[in-house]
Amino acid sequence: MNQEPLVSVVMPCLNEEEAIGPCIEKIQTTFARAGIDGEIVVCDNGSTDASVSIAERMGARVVHQPARGYGNAYLKGFASARGRYLVMGDADDTYDFTMIPQFLSPLEDGHCDFVTGSRYLNGGDATSRPSIATSGIRRSPGSSICSSAPGTPTCIAATAPSPATPTT
C-alpha cells in the first residue's frame, strides 16, 4: 500500500554535500516532533559530489533531473512528490524547516489554500535567519481575513476567484 503522506518537502540539489545532511535531519526531526507524516524528495540536478548518496543514506527519496536549471529541478521534484501539501526549500541549509508545522496549520484548518514565507521580511537578508513571517491566500470569494503575530501564519482573503495578490 502506497499511502499519500500529508506533506512532501521538495529540495532541488546541485553539489550540496555539506548542507544536505543537516537539512534532511532538521526535516526528519520536525516531522517526528510534530507527528507529521511526510516525505523528503531531493531532486538532483547533476551533482558530482556525495549529495545523492548522503540523501539516500538518510532516507530521502532522490529523483534525478538531467535538464539543468533550478526551475527544472523544482518541476521534476513537484511531479515526483506524493504529499497532499508541498513544501519547497533549497538544500543549502538557508531555510528554517522547523517551521513546517506553522505552514501546515492554516492549510489543515482550512483558513488558507496557499501559504508562503520569506526570510527577507522584518529586516532579514540572504545572510540572516530571522523568524519567518508567513502569509496565505484564500482564493474563495467572501472568505474572512484572519491574522496573527509576526512569525506565525497570516491568512489574507481574496475578493474574487481570480489569482490573488499576496500582501505582507
Element (H, E) at 88: strand 85-88
39-55: pLDDT as tens digits: 999 999 999 999 999 99
pLDDT at 17 over 70: yes
> What is the structure's pLDDT at 29?
98
Domain 1-95, architecture per CATH:
Alpha-Beta Complex (3.90)
> What is the structure's pLDDT at 68?
95
53-102: pLDDT as tens digits: 999 999 999 999 999 999 999 999 999 999 999 999 999 998 889 989 98
Residue 58's SS3 state is: coil
Give residue limits of the domains in the chain.
Answer: 1-95, 98-168
Q: By 3-state DSSP, what share of the chain in percent is helix, strand and coil, each rounded to 5?
A: 30, 25, 50
> What is the structure's pLDDT at 30?
97
109-145: pLDDT as tens digits: 887 878 877 766 666 555 554 344 444 554 444 443 3
> What is the structure's pLDDT at 71?
93
